[in-house]
Homo-oligomer: A and B are copies of this chain.
């Protein structure tokens, strides 16, 4: 790390920094350039100590800036697995040249609804069925999902249609049962920094789709994944789903430039959720195509036969005919970027 002192810092101040570095077995390399003193900390330390010492040095009143040099996460970095992580879920392999589309209703509402959707999305090329049973809803008065009953429906339909399923978990106490019934566990945007949940999911041996938080920086997103990998579970899919900005024509602002940024920094597959990312079914197709053009490995899309009767997120769900058309368009885009769907 590099420590920049404020102009006016005294020799005594410099010594305090050196002493603090020594306390953690760092060497110090002083550079008295221009009108400021800059101190380089030299040494190979455990991540834990690096972070702590940076904070402590920042607290000295005569320190202007402490600049980290190394990336502060490690298991998620590209260097750690340069060929890229591939995740097998039944016959599907996420992270290779095939674009994987996960589709289904926001919420599982009934056996009939789920069967109808499962049959349809599989037919038009989706490889994974999505469906929420524990729903994080802003209002306590909104439909909260079918819970365990919904989980059983997912399991039943998954077997009937031979299609893997993904569902969101919010409560660490539900993890065991969910892991038994579904193929991929989703951590929602609101729980991206629910560290309790991340640690528990890290103990599983199940693929996890981790959604970016509404106001998460790229670094925080990677740290959240690092929590899971550190627990021993390396099958993590990162999913951009829109961030919160001042812009008000869409529910969230889909930040597609995170795709090349993540591809540069990490070996984990990158997905995009254009449904939550826009909150508007009219914008979903454009953004789905854009995501694939930008290099995403897959999509997760909300589909409902009758959005105006949906118990959740109707306004952002595609109808069957919209979804069928989109899947065709996506094939052309995938092929234009040298992939297939």
Contacts and interface: CB of A to CB of B under 8 A. Distances in A.
Interface of A: 2, 4, 7, 20, 29, 31, 33-36, 38, 40-44, 46-48, 50-52, 55-60, 67, 69-70, 72-73, 79, 136-143, 170-173, 190-191, 193-196, 214-215, 217-220, 223, 226-227, 230, 243-250, 253-261, 264, 277-278, 281-283, 285-287, 289-295, 307-315, 317, 329, 332-333, 335-337
Contact of A139 (B51, B138, B317): B51
A173 B170 contact: no
Most buried by B among A138, A173, A226, A227: A138
Given A257-B286, A315-B55, A308 B172 contact: no
A123 B21 CA distance: 34
Contacts of A38: 2, 40, 69
Nearest to A249: B218
15 contacts: A35-B70, A47-B141, A48-B141, A72-B141, A140-B223, A172-B172, A217-B246, A218-B249, A219-B249, A248-B248, A256-B287, A259-B286, A260-B287, A289-B294, A329-B337
Nearest to A274: B257
A309 to B, nearest CB: 6
A42 B34 CA distance: 7
Contact of A29 (B31, B282, B294): B31
A303 to B, nearest CB: 13
Contact of A256 (B55, B58, B215, B290): B290
A264 B246 contact: no
Given A59-B308, A290-B294, 8 more contacts: A31-B42, A34-B69, A140-B227, A219-B249, A257-B287, A261-B283, A264-B282, A289-B337
A333 B246 contact: no
B141 A59 contact: no
A200 B254 CA distance: 33
A283 B256 CA distance: 10
A139 to B, nearest CB: 5
